[in-house]
Amino acid sequence: MEKEQVLKLTDDNFKEEVINSELPVVVDFWAPWCMPCRMISPIIEEIAKEYEDKVKVGKLNVDEAPHTASFYGIMAIPTLLIFKGGEVKEKIVGVISKETLASKIASYI
């Protein structure tokens, strides 16, 4: 069985999967009712496959993980945060192209 490339992040596993990660991590803060979130979802999945061994990619549903979303000041979705060494290095609000996201990720790997 193929392993899931996009991690499902929660308030409970965020520290272990993101903060303590040795790899850079792209976190997509989203909600199922958000249409722009649905637009960026395929891009997130493609990035996860293409950067499988270089970057971790996770999605955090803001309705199911309100504490983490609040802690990082997520006011609009989709918001992407790029973490490296447990710290936020980049914040991207709204839908962006795959190429733009890939170029931002490249500076952290």
Please provide the DSSP assignment of 13-53 as one string: THIIIIIT-SS-EEEEEE-TT-HHHHHHHHHHHHHHHHTTT
Residue 109: inside a domain: no
In the chain the first and final C-alpha atoms are separated, in Å, by 28
* CATH value at residue 37: 3.40.30.10
Number of domains making up the chain: 1
Residue 55: inside a domain: yes
Residue 1: inside a domain: no
**pTM more than 0.85:** yes
Residue 87: inside a domain: yes
User: Is residue 72 predicted with pLDDT exceeding 80?
Assistant: yes
37 catalytic per annotation: yes
Structure tokens at 55: 């970057």
pLDDT, tens digit, 9 for 90 and up, residues 36-69: 999 999 999 999 999 989 999 999 999 999 999 9
From the candidates 37, 47, 81, 105, which is the catalytic residue?
A: 37
User: Is residue 96 predicted with pLDDT exceeding 80?
Assistant: yes
From the candidates 27, 34, 40, 65, which is the catalytic residue?
A: 34
